Amino acid sequence: MLDEPASPSEIEASSIFSPELYAGVRRPLAEAETMPPWCYTSTAFYRREVERIFTKVWNFIGREDRIPKPGDYFTLEFVGIPILVVRSSATELRAFANTCRHRGSLVAQGEGNCRAFRCPYHSWAYSLSGELLSAPEMHASAGFDRKNYGLIPLRLECWAGFLFINFDDDAPPLSHHLGDLPEVLASHRVEDMVCVRRKEYDLACNWKIYVENAMEAYHVPTVHRSTLQRQKGAPPEAQQTRGQWVGLFKEHQGSRALLTGDAGFPPIKSLDGKMARGSLYPLIYPSTMFGCTIDCMWWLELHPQGPDRTHLVVGSCFPREVVERPDFAEIVQNYYKRWDISIPEDNAVSELQQRGLSSPFARPGRLAHMEPLVHAIDNWVLDRVLGVTGAY
Ligand code: FES
Ligand SMILES: [Fe+2]
């Protein structure tokens, strides 16, 4: 027999947004429960996250060096919204809603280089800056003025080569969202790094499952027992932060982007203080994780696609002078090996968790002392999903 709490369908039928349902998550860590299972499975909960979180905050969408030349573009879909990002000139990047102003087709797909975007449906053509350049046969449409039918621009900002979009014209600037993260990472010189590989995965799990996993080391001895667990070092500690991010710092020897015993590159010369002694793993809320270690950085970029679907992009960045070494292509394989083993380990366990949580017998659990950021993340989400205000 099922006892409290009610099953997701019963809960949805009443209200899943009553704060009392989340009292267990709101308690201090030592007494706290995990999020109720429906937070990872319910369409209504997911829609509320899209409305109150993802369409209000700065969302990471990759590196600027993906589109180095004027006319280079890429497209993506973020929480169901098709987006087009283009380098409109040597110094300017733009983002648009990838929706034609005639009858709404996608204007561009995939990625590439072009001088203008021609809609595949009736050939309305848009400049790289989004103006409608030509619209065949529209001369008989009374009062039609091309000037009023450019692509809809979206806010796009860049920090140190990392691109972020925002769907909300009223949101504060990106610097407000990032807080002290640029300062904390200053000695990594991420602006001088080059993205050398992007790898994509489709995951059958809720985005929060993946974020929570990345921000706790409790699972490492189990999930990564024959890989990352062999790396020695102190237990990770949660960082003090300012801005919309949290982080774990781990002190250790060597690079955390390599498996024990593998050859790597020298440390980043400019690293100083604490950053020279270990690795920082920031989560930029809501769903972007960085791994900043002593010789490189990688990111985990999540595109939520529904309550139980998430697209993952993993990017790997190294200092430009390292990428220019003659032995780069050979040695970087050791780093790729580490990511290509450990990331699928996390992917697999995240999908197992989604399956277990989808059961009508799933119940809120309890958190260990090693999961302070799981608790912080869940409360950050609840503040917005249950709160009356927007994300900031
Ligand atoms: S929908 Fe784009 S030109 Fe018709
Ligand atoms: Fe992991």
Atom of ligand 1 nearest to the CA of 105: 1
Architecture of domain 59-170: 3-layer Sandwich (2.102)
Average pLDDT over residues 22-47: 97
Average pLDDT over residues 75-93: 97
Q: How far is the CA of 119 from the centre of ligand 1 (A)?
A: 6
Is the CB of 122 inside a 6 Å radius of any atom of ligand 1?
A: yes
**Ramachandran assignment for 189, one of left (phi > 0), alpha (psi -120 to 50 degrees), beta (any other):** left
Average pLDDT over residues 239-248: 95
Q: Which carries the bigger pLDDT value, residue 314 or residue 389?
A: 314
Residue 76 to residue 82: CA distance in whole angstroms: 6
Nearest-10 Cα torsion for 364, 366, 368, 374? 30
pLDDT reported for residue 358: 98
Residue 361 to residue 364: CA distance in whole angstroms: 10
Q: How confident is the model at residue 38 (pLDDT cuts 50, 70, 90)?
A: very high
Q: How far is the CA of 223 from the centre of ligand 2 (A)?
A: 7
3-state class of 229 per DSSP?
Answer: helix
pLDDT reported for residue 112: 98
CATH 3.30.70.980 fits 183-386, yes or no: no
Query: Which residues, in sequence order, are bridge partners of residue 298?
Result: 291, 316
Q: What is the pTM of this model?
A: 0.94
Q: How far is the CA of 249 from the centre of ligand 2 (A)?
A: 15
pLDDT at 195 over 90: yes
pLDDT at 337 over 50: yes
Average pLDDT over residues 346-368: 98
- Taking all residues of the chain, what is their mean pLDDT, rounded to a whole number? 94
Is the CB of 334 inside a 6 Å radius of any atom of ligand 1?
A: no
292-311 as b/e: b if 16+ CB within 10 A: bbbbbbbbbbbbbbebbbbb
Query: Which residues, in sequence order, are bridge partners of residue 85?
Result: 74, 95
Residues with CB under 5 A from ligand 2 (ion): 346
For residue 301, give the nearest of 312, 309, 317, 292 by alpha carbon: 312
The pairing of beta strand 132-134 with beta strand 237-238: unpaired
Give the amino acid at 191.
Answer: E
Average pLDDT over residues 360-365: 98
The pairing of beta strand 92-97 with beta strand 309-319: unpaired
Q: How far is the CA of 93 from the centre of ligand 2 (A)?
A: 34
Which residue minimizes the CA distance to atom 1 of ligand 1? 103
CA 385 to chain centre: 18
Q: Encode pLDDT of 291-300 as tens digits.
A: 999 999 999 9
pLDDT at 1 over 50: no
Sign of CA dihedral 200, 204, 205, 206: positive
Least reliable range by pLDDT among 7-21, 253-267, 279-293, 299-313 = 7-21
Is the CB of 26 inside a 6 Å radius of any atom of ligand 1?
A: no
The best mutation among 98, 102, 107 to test binding of ligand 1, ranked by most ligand atoms within 8 Å of the C-beta, falls on: 102
Is the CB of 176 inside a 6 Å radius of any atom of ligand 1?
A: no
pLDDT at 2 over 70: no
Domain with CATH 3.90.380.10 in the chain: 183-386
Residue 381, exposed/middle/buried by CB under 10 A (0-12, 13-18, 19+)?
A: buried
Q: Are 213 and 81 in contact (CB under 8 A)?
A: no
Domain with CATH 2.102.10.10 in the chain: 59-170
Is the CB of 342 inside a 6 Å radius of any atom of ligand 1?
A: no
Average pLDDT over residues 121-127: 98
Other beta carbons less than 10 A from residue 1's beta carbon: 2
Residue 87, exposed/middle/buried by CB under 10 A (0-12, 13-18, 19+)?
A: buried
Average pLDDT over residues 258-271: 95
pLDDT reported for residue 392: 63
pLDDT at 356 over 60: yes
pLDDT at 9 over 70: no
pLDDT at 284 over 70: yes
